[in-house]
Amino acid sequence: MLTRKLELSREEKFVYADVTDVELGKRIKQHASNVIEHSWLVHKYRSGLGSDYLVLKHQRRQLHSIFRLIATRADKRNLQDSVLTLQEMYTMQNFMFTKLKETFLKTLNIDQRVQRFEQSIKSVSTQHLNE
């Protein structure tokens, strides 16, 4: 019963992480579009169609959008880092170590079998040459 609760909470955690990842991706796109929009407006008002007030206003908004974009990207990185807990990393590392050990033992077994096979071939060839 306890393992089912842990598995359920783990699955819920992954669902939450996926939903949050999608939401942060949408925010990143929105902030990037805001940066482009305000960059265009700064360029437009600098080229002679607007006042210094409008240029400063859109430069301020552009910088604000850049800072929000950087913060949202950091949040997304932190979310990806927090998805794997230490227990899950330990379990995965333990699993990989077990598989590596099994593979190593299998290769040793194969090497021993190849050596025995070579010895048997040598013995048969020497017996055949002696006859």
Q: Which two tokens stand for residue 106?
A: 């299998």
Q: What is the CATH architecture of 1-83?
A: Orthogonal Bundle (1.10)
pTM of the model: 0.56
Q: How confident is the model at residue 1 (pLDDT cuts 50, 70, 90)?
A: very low
DSSP state of 86: H
Under 8 Å between Cβ of 79 and 23: no
Q: What is the Cα–Cα distance from 24 to 69, expressed in whole angstroms?
A: 10
Q: What is the pLDDT of residues 38-53, one digit of tens each?
A: 999 999 888 877 788 9
Question: Buried b / exposed e across 7-42, counting CB within 10 Å, b at 16+?
Answer: eeeeeeeeeeeeeeeeebeebbeebeebbeebeebb
Query: What are the tens digits of pLDDT across the range 59-101?
Result: 999 999 999 999 999 998 888 777 666 667 778 888 889 999 9
Give the up-direction half-sphere exposure of residue 63: CA atoms within 13 A in the CB hemisphere.
Answer: 5
Domain boundaries in the chain? Answer: 1-83, 85-131
